[in-house]
Structure 1
Amino acid sequence: MLRKSLLALGLLSVFGSALAQSAYPTKPIKLLVPFAAGGTTDLIARVIADPLGRELGQPVVVENRGGGGGSIGAAETARAAPDGYNLGIATVSTTATNPAINPKIPYNVATDFTPVINIAATPNVIAANPQFAGKNYAQFLDEVKKHPGKYSYASPGTGSITHLMMEMFKLSTGTDMMHVPYRGSGPALNDAVAGQVPLIFDNLPSALPFIKEKRLVALVVAAPERIPAMPDVPTFKEVGLEAANRMAYYGIVGPKNLPKDIVDKLNAATRKVLQDPAIRKRIEETGSIIQAGTPEKFAQQMKEELAVYKDVVVKQKLTMD
């Protein structure tokens, strides 16, 4: 009798757990953006949050937690309970460049996250305040070569993808510019537009509105081909810097040990949202390319990008200082 009772309890426990997971979600879901409001990561998150909430039957609430090049917010997601109610937006900065350059990063990319889906990949752009002497790529390169150390550039933070990409650019071209890190793209863009910093390397979606309004001048873009909204702006590949012609990804991750059925449900719901022509249009208008792959594919992308930037950091002897 005891054995049967224990077996029954065990089956009840398994059944109850499965039932709870199949009922997921039963309350609002937090989607943490590890950067300040106003940047590309924030933009992507807010485009999908409401429709994803409708698809799942519970609100998806975006929260911003900037600082540390994205590591503070990413660490919060890594520490959260693996119940599906604390998710985060993962970027190349939080899962590749920042971990590659910062030995004190408070999480392990390979073991502390559960990849859910890669939402989109976006180009990156070097842009200048209109008062800057260079009005195109050739003039920009000539100006910074003539005046080493004179100009500074803004980035979303130390260890961000655009920080490391600009350092790659400097080493490839023999130029010297001062890095000014911010707590996200929003504040960096504000100062670049105001002329506090003459140059910025940023993700295209957050910079593009300022470029269209002629409040920033696009100089060169990291993208597979020229961007229709900026037909006169060359890609890094076109100017002979193919290694820097890298895009940034924006995906959803949860803490480690997130149950597979919850991962699959989130992945399927997000993919359905990204099939909506209106949602696709909003994302693609920023110059981004929809990804919407499997959790396994996103995990492989994260692994490969981390390896690329670890190699860059080692070869170029980059540090957080």
Structure 2
Amino acid sequence: MPRLSRRSLLAACLAAPALVRAQEAWRPTRPVTLVVPFTPGGSTDFLARLLGQSITDALGVGVVVENRPGAGGGIASGAVAKAAPDGQTLLIAHIGTLAVNPWIYARLPYDPVQSFAPVSLLAAVHNVLAIHPSVAARSVPDLIALAKAAPGSLNYGTGGVGSAAHIATAAFEVAAGIRLQHVPYRGTGPAVSDLLAGRIQMALTGAPILLPQVRAGSLLALGVSGTRRLAALPDVPTIAEAALPGFDASQWYGLVAPAGTSAPVIDTLNAICRTTLSTPAMAARLEQEGADAMPSTPDGFAAHIASELARWGAVARAANLKAE
């Protein structure tokens, strides 16, 4: 994958007056830690490393990307919730940690609303429905028919209970009226490895980790979970147009800080996110990976979290999702 130019990102960041003013108000005193709640290789990790480079370019400090998988993102989220609210420890949060986990775990070490200060939405990552070539299906209707003929016979892998892939596939099951067998892993990378080996049959997960395998012909892409086809997979229909009108189960990601983080810190980080995500270079890079930039204000992100909590709570109840 081509790398973004550090020089172009820095120039874009420094060109924004809001960012310049925010930098005058706060600058980190040591490397910033970006905590990722899953193993390396998935969409969350991909976005963390892009954002980390932008923070380094804009503020002149190192960024450490720390992968802390477990409990559907609960371990990492709980740790950041307890961190000092000084901007030095941040979380790449996503649909699972902020909108799904509260509905499927009886107890969490954090509250999705009270424990964090929203900084900005980052991106929507479209899920791709991919199967191992040995599966006797070549379209979404084929797969649905196969699942209806033998309920529970198809195994799907995810990055864990409560992960974005878990909730997206549960929504797919509800919409299609089928029953699949969930196989949770400690990250998306291990799940895709087993899919490539044929130990599981399918996955509905973020495009970035699946696209190289689909392009190589190692996996077959049947559908995309968003409202439009991906530029990276123009011949692959959306699940909505292929079989389930109205279906939309894309992932989203955002940056949060511990609750109590000061306004200057939040403003600085928000300006970096919004400026970087608005550059043509970043938009092109995200599109190449099957994602859309979604910069927002902190208040806009807070409203999005509230809306998604209500939306996915209904899905969790309909699918009877509970942590195993």
Pairwise same-fold verdict (TM > 0.5) = yes
Alignment partner for residue 259 of structure 1, among 262, 265, 268?
262
Structure 2 residue 66 is matched with structure 1 residue 67: no
Cα deviation for residue 235 of structure 1 reads: 1.4
Q: 1:84 maps to what in 2? A: 87
Alignment partner for residue 214 of structure 2, among 211, 215, 231?
211
Q: 2:118 maps to what in 1? A: 115
Q: 1:9 maps to what in 2? A: none
Q: 2:14 maps to what in 1? A: none
Q: 2:149 maps to what in 1? A: 146
Q: 1:68 touches 1:158 (CA, 8 Å); kept in 2?
A: yes
Structure 2 residue 264 is matched with structure 1 residue 269: no
Q: 1:21 touches 1:262 (CA, 8 Å); kept in 2?
A: no
Structure 2 residue 42 is matched with structure 1 residue 35: no
Amino acid at match of 2:166: H
Q: 1:278 maps to what in 2? A: 281
Partner SS for 2:241: coil
Q: 2:311 maps to what in 1? A: 308
Partner SS for 1:115: strand
- In structure 2, distance between residues paired with 1:306 and 1:31: 24
Structure 2 residue 165 is matched with structure 1 residue 175: no
- In structure 2, distance between residues paired with 1:233 and 1:143: 19
Alignment partner for residue 53 of structure 2, among 50, 60, 68?
50
- In structure 1, distance between residues paired with 2:264 and 2:216: 45
Cα deviation for residue 62 of structure 1 reads: 0.8
Q: 1:165 maps to what in 2? A: 168
TM-score (norm 1): 0.89
Q: 2:41 touches 2:209 (CA, 8 Å); kept in 1?
A: yes
- In structure 2, distance between residues paired with 1:143 and 1:92: 29
* Matched positions, count: 302
Cα deviation for residue 99 of structure 1 reads: 1.8
Q: 2:77 touches 2:97 (CA, 8 Å); kept in 1?
A: yes
Pairing 1:165-244 to 2, within 5 Å after superposition: 165-242=168-245, 244=247
- In structure 2, distance between residues paired with 1:199 and 1:267: 37
Gaps of at least 5 residues in structure 2 are 1-22
- Residue deviations 1:23-59, cap 9 Å, x none? 4212110000110000010011112212221101211
- In structure 2, distance between residues paired with 1:153 and 1:314: 20
- Which protein has the larger Cα radius of gyration, Structure 1 or Structure 2? 1
Partner SS for 1:54: helix
Gaps of at least 5 residues in structure 1 are 1-19
Structure 2 residue 96 is matched with structure 1 residue 93: yes
Q: 1:165 touches 1:244 (CA, 8 Å); kept in 2?
A: no
- In structure 2, distance between residues paired with 1:241 and 1:85: 44
- In structure 1, distance between residues paired with 2:232 and 2:276: 25
Cα deviation for residue 242 of structure 1 reads: 4.6
Structure 2 residue 292 is matched with structure 1 residue 289: yes
Q: 1:131 maps to what in 2? A: 134
Amino acid at match of 1:170: E
Instruction: Give percent identity, aligned residues only.
Output: 37
- In structure 1, distance between residues paired with 2:185 and 2:297: 33
